[in-house]
Structure 1
Amino acid sequence: MKTKIIRVAQGKQSTLSHLYIDDIFQCYLLEDKIRAAKIPKQTAIPIGDYTLRLNTWGGMNAEYRQKFPNVHKGMIEINGLPNFSYVYIHIGNTYRQTAGCPLCGFGFELVDGDFQIVRSKDAYQMIYPKLLEIAQSKENQISIENNFQF
């Protein structure tokens, strides 16, 4: 399966993206601002090609096992990022909750110059099984690109 994150807009401190699996839109993603020099836990992932993997040892696993006991098998990690580690696709609503990770949602709004996403838990429950399957397959590639539209 072909998995892509396509960035479509930037706020003052936030970046709004679309997540596609096999060219089908899945949900919105929210990241931190794109920066030339990385600030830990405040910088969007660099564009490029990476892999998805299942992380069963990181600190967020216990919390997500409780929140999503019927589906959680481990965190979906974007692996192979230069100067980044433990980058998970997870729930949240504002750039302040990203810690350098993409947050998923079914809608977005612009508040005081920054994007926020909504219905994050709903989006996570929908995309998690799909991303889990990809992370456990040989076709576990994910690409990140910029295509700013607004």
Structure 2
Amino acid sequence: MAGAVKIFRMAQGKSSTLSHLYINGIFGCYLLEDAIRQTKVAGHTCIPEGSYKLLLNTWGEMNKDYLKRYPKMHKGMIELSGIPNFKAIYLHIGNTINDTAGCPLVGSWFNMVNGEFEVYQSRLAYERIYPVLAKLMALGPVQLTVTNQHLF
């Protein structure tokens, strides 16, 4: 295994979930997802707890958009693979649960607004973690573990 990536879910808003992303034991960024539910609903639920594999996905419109935005850095969308009944779940840029479509959004810091978490400086967080994750994936398989840990 080339690397270990962990998502620790830390807090719930009304319909949002705030998490921490760790790469080989080092804090990488905050994540924002939709609410935790027992059954994943496309576009409205965070991914279930469990272990998944990270892949670089090189197809689709989002991949084309990110290649234009980051021509020197982008090698494919960071996809969370192996989620039962779902495909094309990516780590990507965004600020509110309206931007997620069921995917984790990256952020440099967070705030709660009207009972919902939001992440900010998402592009900076993406530019910081993407090269690290892409390099790990180039070395071999990368395991992602998702754990619900509500601390507050």
Tell me the percent identity.
52
Q: Counterparts of 1:18 and 1:84 in 2: how far apart (Å)?
A: 22
State the AA in 2 paired with 1:88.
Y
Q: Counterparts of 1:75 and 1:7 in 2: how far apart (Å)?
A: 22
Residue-pair matches, total? 150
CA distances 1:10-53 after superposition (whole Å, capped 9, x unpaired): 10110000000111111000001011233211110000000000
Per the alignment, residue 18 of structure 1 pairs with: 20
User: CA offset at residue 8 of structure 1?
Assistant: 0.2
Give the TM-score, by structure 2 length: 0.95
Per the alignment, residue 70 of structure 2 pairs with: 68
Per the alignment, residue 58 of structure 1 pairs with: 60
Alignment of structure 1 residues 93-112 onto 2, 5 Å: 93-112=95-114
Give the TM-score, by structure 1 length: 0.96
Contact 1:15–1:32 at 8 Å: present in 2 too?
A: yes
State the AA in 1 paired with 2:116.
D
SS in 2 for 1:81: coil
Per the alignment, residue 30 of structure 1 pairs with: 32
Contact 2:18–2:33 at 8 Å: present in 1 too?
A: yes
Unaligned 5+ residue runs, structure 1?
none
SS in 2 for 1:142: strand
Give the stretch that moved more between structures: 59-68 or 48-57: 59-68
State the AA in 2 paired with 1:104.
V
Per the alignment, residue 78 of structure 1 pairs with: 80
User: CA offset at residue 147 of structure 1?
Assistant: 0.8
Per the alignment, residue 117 of structure 2 pairs with: 115
Q: Counterparts of 2:52 and 2:40 in 1: how far apart (Å)?
A: 18
SS in 1 for 2:146: strand
Unaligned 5+ residue runs, structure 2?
none
Q: Counterparts of 1:101 and 1:139 in 2: how far apart (Å)?
A: 21
